[in-house]
Structure 1
Amino acid sequence: MSFTLNDKLVVAISSRALFDFEEENRVYEQGDPAAYEKLQRERLDVPAQPGVAFGLIRKLLALNTERERRVEVVILSRSDPISGLRAFRSCREQQLAIERGVFTRGSPPFRYLKPLAAHLFLSANRDDVQEALAAGFPAAHVYPRSTAQAELRPDEIRIAFDGDAVLFSDEAEQVYQASGLPEFMRHEVQKRDIPLAHGPLKPLLEALHRLQKLADDAATMRIRTALVTARAAPAHERAIRTLMAWEIEVDEAMFLGGLDKGTFLREFQPDFFFDDQLRHCESAREVTATGHVPIGITNHAS
């Protein structure tokens, strides 16, 4: 029987999000791909150090057991195949059970997200992330120099999500940007019983929720999720009712009404946080590994 990705949480990740290839990337960005490839060949036997998303990926892979493989991680990268060889060797050195990868040597890699049926694409290349989101795939641009928190809770995966334009569509955010806070509140109260359309990272939260339900008392790795949103009462109700309509639960919900998210994330201690607004990402990256979801009206306006 052939291997299938059905019923698995599938994460596609660029090699630079998984490992610290920042020095090599600076050579690449100088506009000389040949020099970049030469450097990677020279370092073929030098294992790369962990990157910003390494801790999250290691924990997700720990959800797999000898009896059941629940998570599949695939390296999806613009690097050339020989540079990919270094990435796989680094996985082996770091004891990451990653067996699959696609290396496109400068060609946009997002088109391979469809056959992978990926629930998330993490990349340090903003253009690749934007192309993936525009094509309808869940994706986030990682901050390579974000603070990592994954070592704080070795037996628990903690992931925090913004709401509008991340888990939900940016319908309500459009109202806020066009008409201000009072109209936003009226709009959300009037539509509190109408679920919001799904946003780009709903598939990830849905898959995590499914894995939570599979956990048993013998599980060595737990999952905890949080909604961290600038919404405040009474606009909070539509967000919660939307999750109820989706039959998805989160473990914690923070309705901050404009308060700085970073200070609350410091207490929650997530392994990763996703937000669509750069100002929230800049605050969060001082606290935890952070992914920007560059979609919706706030990003179009910029």
Structure 2
Amino acid sequence: MALTLDEKIVVAISSRALFDFEEENRLFENSNPATYLKLQRERLDVPAAPGVAFSLVKKLLAFNTEAQQRVEVVLLSRNDPISGMRVFRSAKAHGLQSIQRGVFTQGRDPFSYLRPLGAQLFLSANAEDVTQALQLGYPAAHVYTDSMRASGRHPQELRIAFDGDAVLFSDEAERIYQSQGLAAFQKHEADKASQPLPEGPFKPLLAALHRLQQVDEPGMQIRTALVTARSAPAHERALNTLMDWKIDVDEAMFLGGLPKGGFLREFEPDFFFDDQTGHVRNAASHVPSGHVRSGVAHEKA
């Protein structure tokens, strides 16, 4: 039987999302490829420091056991193969030796490889790669590499926070808000409170995490949160949608436009996903954050 990644949660991640390669990236952008490659060769045995998405990846991999491999993490990077060697060595040095697959394209667009991987999530520090991945239908986020790192205070609990509209849900309601204002948005959502919202790009990831939550084994647990600018009465449609999907979230924050960063600081997620750059930038000063480059808010940016 051919080896496949079916039945696994497959996460594709770039080098800079997983590890702190910001110094090397600045050299790459301000110098020439030969100088960059020389530095990476010189540092082959120098493990890179953990990056923004490191905690998320480490905790996802903790769901794997000898009996069952539930999560697969694959490196998917514009880096060259030699630099890729350093990434693999860094992973091993930090206890992520179960990361064994990688694609390194030396500058070429890598997102097309999401199709054969069947990825449920793509995390990259390259914004355009994220945009292309989302257009292909894959949950993807542009990792803000200057984000605050995860707190480390919940070593046995994977915590993930999601915005609602244009992330878990479609941007149907957000388009009303952007074009007609808050009052029209509230009326639209109250009128359609019992009608589930269409799926957004990250619904498949939430569904996969929900299935992982059902695993009845000791060890790593999952805690999810919906963190949205919605408030009553528009909260009902969001919750009715989740009930229709038969998916639970552990916490829901209906903030009515309040800045999300302070609330996320208290929740302490390993990662937060939002479609609006203002929310992501506010959150990034408190928690690991990524921009979901989709929906009407992104189109207007």
With the shorter chain as reference, the TM-score category is over 0.9
Within 1, Cα distance between the matches of 2:45 and 2:150?
28
Deviation string 1:261-280 (CA, Å, 9 cap, x unpaired) is 11111111111111011111
SS in 1 for 2:10: strand
Within 1, Cα distance between the matches of 2:267 and 2:43?
38
User: Equivalent residue for 1:127?
Assistant: 128
SS in 1 for 2:214: helix
Within 2, Cα distance between the matches of 1:31 and 1:299?
31
For the 8 Å contact 2:158–2:220, the answer to whether it is kept is yes
TM-score, normalised with respect to structure 1: 0.97
Offset of 1:150 from its aligned partner?
A: 4.6
Within 2, Cα distance between the matches of 1:208 and 1:241?
19
Within 1, Cα distance between the matches of 2:30 and 2:170?
37
Range that drifts further, 38-47 or 198-207: 38-47
Within 2, Cα distance between the matches of 1:79 and 1:98?
16
Offset of 1:90 from its aligned partner?
A: 0.7
Within 2, Cα distance between the matches of 1:252 and 1:143?
24
Q: Match of 2:119, as an amino acid?
A: A
For the 8 Å contact 2:133–2:140, the answer to whether it is kept is yes
For the 8 Å contact 2:51–2:149, the answer to whether it is kept is no
User: Equivalent residue for 2:222?
Assistant: 223
User: Equivalent residue for 1:27?
Assistant: 27
Within 2, Cα distance between the matches of 1:131 and 1:204?
18
Find out whether 1:270 has 2:269 as its counterpart: yes
**Any stretches of 5+ residues in structure 1 without a counterpart?**
none
For the 8 Å contact 1:191–1:238, the answer to whether it is kept is yes
For the 8 Å contact 2:62–2:220, the answer to whether it is kept is yes
Offset of 1:35 from its aligned partner?
A: 2.1
Q: Residues 41-190 of structure 1 correspond to what in structure 2 (within 5 A)?
A: 41-96=41-96, 97-190=98-191
Within 1, Cα distance between the matches of 2:267 and 2:45?
38
User: Equivalent residue for 2:200?
Assistant: 199
Offset of 1:165 from its aligned partner?
A: 0.5
For the 8 Å contact 1:55–1:150, the answer to whether it is kept is no
- Percent identity (aligned): 64
For the 8 Å contact 1:275–1:281, the answer to whether it is kept is yes
SS in 1 for 2:11: strand
Structure 1 residues 108 and 31, CA gap change in structure 2 (3 angstroms): farther
**Any stretches of 5+ residues in structure 2 without a counterpart?**
none
Offset of 1:132 from its aligned partner?
A: 0.9
Q: Residues 239-250 of structure 1 correspond to what in structure 2 (within 5 A)?
A: 239-250=238-249
TM-score, normalised with respect to structure 2: 0.97
For the 8 Å contact 1:276–1:292, the answer to whether it is kept is yes
Deviation string 1:179-220 (CA, Å, 9 cap, x unpaired) is 00110011111111221111111111111000001133xx21
Within 1, Cα distance between the matches of 2:36 and 2:224?
38
User: Equivalent residue for 2:236?
Assistant: 237
RMSD after superposition: 1.1
For the 8 Å contact 1:215–1:222, the answer to whether it is kept is no
Consecutive aligned runs of 4 or more in structure 1 exceeding 6 Å deviation: none
For the 8 Å contact 1:229–1:254, the answer to whether it is kept is yes
